[in-house]
């Protein structure tokens, strides 16, 4: 059997399709490129949740922009309970602890609250860590704009909000990645949408999944100038390190999200020198990987340009995974709802390769 289950099909989904050979991502009937930079986060949440989300109590359709705004306000009531102990944790560990305080359930209210939570808690945690007072959400703002304001302290420009919307949409869902699988398994036990998102978040934070973009910044800073890239990258591979932001379990060509985010960076208009360094490091890394791993196509993944985009939005690298979670949580929730609708517990089997009882004595 394959330890990474790469050939195992573990769910049917209407939500997204990752074509690793063609480098194509479909999000519920639309190509990624039709949505990133075109639709805001709330619109794509609506696309994913359509037909899955439980109806509002009075049966009316949900205006997701205002419903998410109200949900941010509900989550905000938890912020005053942030104690100093949480401030010693990394932002994603603090976020995990705070999300665990939300009540579980499988209804619309829980779906909205858990989707609103990463934005509110990340803003509050970062400000408390910096010795600043957390800022209450503005329920009338767009989710991306409000997230940036709750972190940075002032309303972002339209370009900045649009760039974060592009990011949140680009990462909202991606087939049965590790965190989404964790969320579906948890939802299948009927533990609730908050538990499903917590399982997703816990899987996301690892450096092989959503923890990669912070280390991409470390890599760019350590390289410093383009002319040092090749030597630095060769030395990293010589040590047995993996290059963060490269390689993917499914894509054998370039991750389409990388170019969608690069385009968003260009629209935002970032520091040209930083982008040029990023492009030079990317080119050198691809060359070094091609030379050292000729049998394995290792291309740029979403995390490389995530790092440059979130850095340009003045988000601290320590919180990059929290911002990833702020987008992906809507996908986890959609998958959790889709899994619950199947009514089936996920419970695969293992192959026992340990000793049989009494085997040692028999051999002796
Ligand atoms: N740098 C160096 N070597 C790599 C890299 C990399 N980034 N990625 C894969 N390889 C090598 C492995 O060491 C292995 O080599 P070996 O056979 O000589 O031991 C071989 O390529 C395995 O390739 P795959 O089977 O394609 O890789 P796998 O599916 O196991 O891993 C993963 C995928 C975890 C994403 C990997 O490419 C990696 O660690 N990348 C760096 C971390 C990263 O960027 N993570 C974000 C992924 S995107 C996301 O989750 C949102």
**For the residues 335-359, what does the mean pLDDT come to?**
95
Give the DSSP H or E segment for 19: strand 16-19
Q: Say how many Å lie between the CA of residue 237 and the centre of ligand 1.
A: 12
Q: From the alpha carbon of 6, which atom of ligand 1 is closest?
A: 29
Q: Which of 37-46, 162-171, 204-213 has the lowest mean pLDDT?
A: 204-213
Minimal-distance CA residue to ligand 1 atom 49: 209
Minimal-distance CA residue to ligand 1 atom 29: 249
CA distance 226 to 287: 14
CA distance 232 to 237: 9
Q: 364 pLDDT exceeds 60?
A: no
Q: Which of 53-67, 128-142, 293-307, 310-324 has the lowest mean pLDDT?
A: 53-67
Which pTM value belongs to this model?
Answer: 0.95
Indicate whether residue 251 lines ligand 1 (CB < 6 A). no
Handedness of CA 324, 45, 185, 175 (dihedral sign): negative
How far are the Cα atoms of 10, 122, 196, 247 from residue 307, in angstroms, in the given order?
31, 17, 26, 15
Q: What is the dihedral of CA 248, 251, 254, 256, to 10 degrees?
A: -100
Indicate whether residue 143 lines ligand 1 (CB < 6 A). no
Minimal-distance CA residue to ligand 1 atom 50: 209
Q: How do residues 91-124 score in pLDDT, each as one tens digit?
A: 999 999 999 999 999 999 999 999 999 999 999 9
Q: Say how many Å lie between the CA of residue 244 and the centre of ligand 1.
A: 9
Catalytic residues: 248, 303
The pLDDT value recorded for residue 213 is 85
Q: Which of 151-155, 325-329, 335-339, 360-364 has the lowest mean pLDDT?
A: 360-364
Q: Say how many Å lie between the CA of residue 278 and the centre of ligand 1.
A: 19
Q: How do residues 248-301 score in pLDDT, each as one tens digit?
A: 999 999 999 999 999 999 999 888 899 999 999 999 999 999 999 999 999 999
Q: Which two tokens stand for residue 237?
A: 């591979």
CA distance 165 to 38: 9
Indicate whether residue 327 lines ligand 1 (CB < 6 A). no
Minimal-distance CA residue to ligand 1 atom 25: 249
Indicate whether residue 298 lines ligand 1 (CB < 6 A). yes
The pLDDT value recorded for residue 149 is 98
Indicate whether residue 211 lines ligand 1 (CB < 6 A). no
Mean pLDDT, all residues of the chain: 95
Minimal-distance CA residue to ligand 1 atom 35: 248
Q: Say how many Å lie between the CA of residue 213 and the centre of ligand 1.
A: 14
Which ranges in 248-271 belong to alpha helices (H)? 256-268
Q: Which two tokens stand for residue 33?
A: 């490129």
Indicate whether residue 247 lines ligand 1 (CB < 6 A). yes
Indicate whether residue 301 lines ligand 1 (CB < 6 A). yes
CA distance 77 to 134: 12
Indicate whether residue 255 lines ligand 1 (CB < 6 A). no
CA distance 342 to 13: 11
- Give the residue from 164, 189, 183 showing the smallest Cα distance to 322: 164
Q: How many CB atoms lie under 10 A from the CB of residue 34?
A: 12
**For the residues 4-11, what does the mean pLDDT come to?**
92
Q: 59 pLDDT exceeds 90?
A: no
Backbone angles phi, psi at 242, to 5 degrees: -95, 145
Minimal-distance CA residue to ligand 1 atom 34: 208
**For the residues 216-245, what does the mean pLDDT come to?**
96
**For the residues 58-70, what does the mean pLDDT come to?**
90
Q: Say how many Å lie between the CA of residue 273 and the centre of ligand 1.
A: 28
CA distance 139 to 188: 32
CA distance 166 to 172: 10
Q: 316 pLDDT exceeds 70?
A: yes
Q: Say how many Å lie between the CA of residue 59 and the centre of ligand 1.
A: 46
Q: Which of 207-216, 219-228, 279-288 has the lowest mean pLDDT?
A: 207-216
The answer to whether 319 touches 91, Cβ cutoff 8 Å, is yes
Indicate whether residue 245 lines ligand 1 (CB < 6 A). yes
Give the residues across from 27 on adjacent strands: 16, 30
The answer to whether 269 touches 159, Cβ cutoff 8 Å, is yes
The pLDDT value recorded for residue 362 is 54
The pLDDT value recorded for residue 146 is 98
273: three-class secondary structure by DSSP? helix
Q: Say how many Å lie between the CA of residue 73 and the centre of ligand 1.
A: 40
Q: From the alpha carbon of 302, which atom of ligand 1 is closest?
A: 48
Q: 60 pLDDT exceeds 90?
A: no
The pLDDT value recorded for residue 359 is 74
Indicate whether residue 254 lines ligand 1 (CB < 6 A). no
């Amino acid at each position: 059997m394959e330890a990474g289950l790469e050939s195992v099909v573990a769910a049917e989904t209407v939500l997204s399709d990752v074509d690793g050979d063609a480098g194509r991502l479909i999000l519920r009937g639309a190509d990624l490129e039709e949505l990133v930079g075109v639709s805001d986060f709330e619109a794509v949440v609506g696309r994913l949740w359509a037909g899955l989300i439980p109806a509002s109590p009075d049966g009316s359709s949900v205006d997701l922009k205002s419903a998410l705004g109200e949900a941010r306000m509900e989550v905000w009531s938890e912020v005053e309970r942030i104690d100093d102990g949480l401030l010693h944790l990394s932002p994603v560990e603090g976020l995990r602890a705070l999300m665990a305080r939300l009540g579980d359930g499988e209804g619309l209210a829980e779906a909205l609250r858990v989707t609103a939570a990463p934005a509110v808690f990340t803003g509050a945690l970062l400000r408390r860590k910096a010795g600043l007072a957390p800022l209450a959400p503005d329920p009338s703002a767009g989710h991306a704009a409000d997230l940036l304001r709750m972190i940075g302290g002032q309303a972002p420009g339209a370009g900045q909000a649009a760039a974060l919307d592009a990011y949140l949409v680009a990462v909202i869902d991606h087939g049965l990645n590790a965190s989404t699988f964790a969320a579906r398994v948890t939802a299948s036990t009927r533990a609730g949408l908050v538990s499903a998102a917590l399982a997703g978040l816990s899987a996301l934070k690892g450096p092989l999944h959503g923890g990669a973009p912070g280390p991409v910044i470390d890599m760019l800073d350590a390289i410093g100038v383009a002319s040092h890239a090749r030597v630095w990258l060769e030395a990293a591979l010589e040590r047995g390190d993996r290059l963060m932001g490269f390689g993917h379990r499914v894509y054998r060509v370039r991750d389409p999200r990388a170019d969608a985010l690069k385009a968003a960076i260009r629209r935002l208009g970032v520091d040209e020198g930083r982008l040029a360094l990023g492009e030079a490091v990317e080119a050198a890394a691809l060359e070094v990987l091609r030379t050292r791993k000729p049998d394995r196509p290792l291309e740029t993944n979403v995390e490389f340009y995530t790092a440059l985009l979130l850095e340009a939005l003045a988000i601290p690298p320590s919180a990059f995974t929290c911002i990833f979670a702020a987008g992906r949580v809507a996908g986890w929730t959609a998958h959790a709802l889709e899994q619950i609708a199947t009514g089936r517990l996920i419970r695969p089997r293992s192959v026992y390769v340990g000793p049989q009882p009494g085997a040692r004595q028999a051999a002796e």
